[in-house]
Amino acid sequence: MATAKKLPSGSWRCLVFSHYEYVTGKDGNVKKKRVYESFTCDDPSPAGKRRCEAMAAEYADKKEQSNLSSYKLTFREAVDAYIVERSQILSPASIRKYRSMQKEFSMLDDYKIRDINKKIIQQYINSISGSLSPKTVRDRHGLITAVLKRYNPDIILNTTLPKKKRIERSIPSESDIKALISAASGTEMEVPIYLGAFGMMRRGEISALKKSDFKNNVIHVNKTMVLSPDNKWIVKAPKSYAGDRFVPVPQFVVDAFMALPNDGVNMTPNIITSRFEHVLNNAGIEHFRFHDLRHYSASIQHALGIPDAYIMQAGGWGDDRVLKDVYRHTFEESEKKMGNIAINYFDSMQHEMQHDIKKTP
């Protein structure tokens, strides 16, 4: 049992080991750091010392019982308990994603939490890395890590994961957007395309948008439509703080939305996707996602010299990773154009030289 020590103030303090935290040192090595729970009693008498030690002993006993209970769980039970425990704070989309991943852990399901080690986890990751994308593998590993940290905090994984792949984003050109708008003109997809291309709005945000969310030519994006864990469409607050934002849009977008017969577009995100594909096919435009309309808008605003901070705020991005990818794509397209100009010039120069050589007697 932990023994209380008297502090300079006269109070008693007792420290009880709580858990390990793993910190990465400057040399890159992961080290264990012991974390303690502190209990104090202001009574300087021996009775105060006993009370302090009693509080510490009660905590240690509860912690031991909790650990024993957790260690008896199978991995399947631990994942389920983890999701239920966080069901009130996770978004419906995250819960659905976790429930979907939970079905793919059959190789781990029957292991007791106390028996799982880094070798077992590495074997599982190796078994799925050949058939799944690096992002999917990393997502699954993220859930595994979170569950083990909750129910077996002493384990250190250090799993070797597949390298991240650079995302190749498809950004529609201005001619694509013009053809798209022309093909959607007068149809129910006209307004959603306007909102995606000129308001950088996501499908769920468009589905949840109401006329009351407009003030003059500014939209207050404050809700989104998502699938609940039981596969029903619901409207909820944005997933992130950055998602709640004010977005200015051209007046023709406002007019088109206000002219809708209903209070909104009256389409779920999935319906928007399906009908968007029909518009692309009818217009003969090479396939890209509805979501890529946001990237088009961001690239145009960047080219116009609008500050990144403003573009991030209007688009609801919490960081600049997506923007950097969008700008990289734009830069690569410019590189190709500039490179072609140089190639054409050198080809022309070579052609003239060959022509002059033939003319020489």
- Spatial neighbors of 167 by CB under 8 A, at least 6 apart, are 325
Residue 169 lies in a domain: no
Find the domain containing 205 and state its range.
174-322
Q: Are 313 and 245 in contact (CB under 8 A)?
A: yes
Closest CA to 21 of 160, 155, 138: 155
Count the domains in the chain: 3
Q: Are 13 and 7 in contact (CB under 8 A)?
A: yes
Q: Residue 165: its pLDDT value, please?
A: 78
Q: Residue 114: its pLDDT value, please?
A: 85
Same domain, 58 and 109: no
Residue 124 lies in a domain: yes
Residue 344 lies in a domain: no
Residue 12 lies in a domain: yes
Same domain, 64 and 93: no
Q: Residue 167: its pLDDT value, please?
A: 66
CATH number of the domain bearing residue 286: 1.10.443.10
Same domain, 215 and 103: no
Same domain, 178 and 306: yes
Same domain, 43 and 136: no
Same domain, 317 and 224: yes
Burial class (CB in 10 A: 0-12, 13-18, 19+), 230: exposed
Closest CA to 200 of 305, 310, 287: 310
Residue 105 lies in a domain: yes
Residue 21 lies in a domain: yes
Same domain, 105 and 61: no
pTM: 0.63
Same domain, 215 and 306: yes
Q: Are 303 and 174 in contact (CB under 8 A)?
A: no
Same domain, 121 and 240: no
Q: Are 205 and 224 in contact (CB under 8 A)?
A: yes
Query: How many angstroms separate the CA atoms of 140 and 118, rounded?
Result: 15
Same domain, 277 and 184: yes
Same domain, 316 and 203: yes
pLDDT (tens place) for every residue of the chain, 361 residues total: 688 999 999 999 999 887 777 677 777 676 778 888 899 999 999 999 999 999 988 888 777 666 656 667 899 999 999 999 888 888 888 898 999 999 999 999 999 988 899 999 999 999 999 999 999 999 999 999 999 988 888 788 889 999 887 766 678 888 899 999 999 999 999 999 999 999 999 999 999 999 999 998 999 999 999 988 888 899 998 877 778 999 999 999 999 999 999 999 999 999 999 999 999 999 999 899 999 999 888 888 888 888 888 888 888 887 777 777 666 655 445 445 544 565 566 667 666 666 655 555 5
Domain edge (last residue) among 119, 151, 183 = 151
Residue 308 lies in a domain: yes
Beta bridge partners of 32: 22
Burial class (CB in 10 A: 0-12, 13-18, 19+), 232: exposed
Burial class (CB in 10 A: 0-12, 13-18, 19+), 89: exposed
Q: Residue 301: its pLDDT value, please?
A: 85
Same domain, 129 and 260: no
Domain edge (last residue) among 21, 36, 71 = 71
Residue 358 lies in a domain: no
Domain edge (last residue) among 118, 151, 184 = 151
Q: Are 161 and 141 in contact (CB under 8 A)?
A: yes
